[in-house]
Amino acid sequence: DIQMTQSPSSLSASVGDRVTITCRASQTISRYLHWYQQKPGKAPKLLIYAASALQSGVPSRFSGSGSGTEFTLTISSLQPEDFATYYCHQSYSTLTFGGGTKVEIK
């Protein structure tokens, strides 16, 4: 199975900060990489698919980049509603998720 490693596992940031989360795959996955946001007690929500495509309705402050084995999710200016846990997910082969990155208020 392809292992997905997210870093950091948690971070503290302030409203207005630029935040970057990294996801590394144990082997190449082309651009079969997707990002989700999950708030406590809620289902995950798709933010970015195919590495860089913004899901409909998702604010443009979210962006994704990368290909092969290294990917990033960037929030250009953190908003209060963005404090959540973020997961990457690969669909190149048997589906696997990263361990998550919890974004907390500094």
Partner 1 sequence: QVQLVESGGGLVKPGGSLRLSCAASGFPFSDYYMSWIRQAPGKGLEWVSYISSTSSYTDYPDSVKGRFTISRDNAKNSLYLQMSSLRVEDTAVYYCARGGNGWLDFWGQGTLVTVSS
Binding of residue 50 to partner 1 (CB under 8 A): yes
DSSP assignment of the chain: ---EEEE-SEEEE-TT--EEEEEEESS--TT-EEEEEE-TTS--EEEEETTTEEPTT--TTEEEEEETTEEEEEESS--GGG-SEEEEEE-SSS-EE---EEEEE-
Is residue 62 at the binding interface for partner 1, with CB under 8 A as the rule? no
- 71 lies in the site for partner 1, by CB under 8 A: no
Interface pattern 19-48 for partner 1 (x via CB under 8 A):
-------------x-x-x-x---xxxxx--
Q: How far is the CB of 14 from partner 1 (least distance, A)?
A: 25
Contact residues for partner 1 (CB under 8 A)?
1, 32, 34, 36, 38, 42-46, 49-50, 55, 87, 89, 91, 94-100
